[in-house]
Amino acid sequence: MKEITVKIIDPIGIHARPAQLLTAAASKFKSESKITANGLEANLKSIMNIMTLGVKSGDEVTLKVSGEDEDLAFETILGAFKSNGLCE
C-alpha cells in the first residue's frame, strides 16, 4: 500500500470538477484507491463518495492506494491532485 497526506490548497476545496478528474484518474487502474478526510473515507472511483467528504481549503486528506498496479496508480492520482491545483 502507498499512502500520503496532503493539504488542500484550492480555495474552493474539492468540488465537482476536481472530483471528476480524480475519479477519472483512479478509474484507469485495478488498484483500490481511497481518500480520507474529516474522519471519513471515500472511494476515489466514485464522484459522489468524494463529494460527501466536504473537503475545504486547508483540510488535510490522506490518499491510499493498494493493489497490483498501485505504484503507477498512486503516481497518476497524486499527479492529478497536483496538476489540478488541489495540493502542492
Catalytic residue list contains 15: yes
Count of other CB atoms within 10 angstroms of residue 64: 19
Query: How confident is the model at residue 23, as a pLDDT?
Result: 97
* Cβ-proximal residues to 34 (8 Å cutoff; 6+ apart), any chain: 41, 42, 43, 44, 63, 64, 65
Q: Give the tens place of pLDDT for each residue, 27-66.
A: 999 999 999 999 999 999 999 999 999 999 999 999 999 9
pTM over 0.85: yes
Which listed residue (15, 17, 28, 82) is catalytic? 15
CATH number of 2-83: 3.30.1340.10
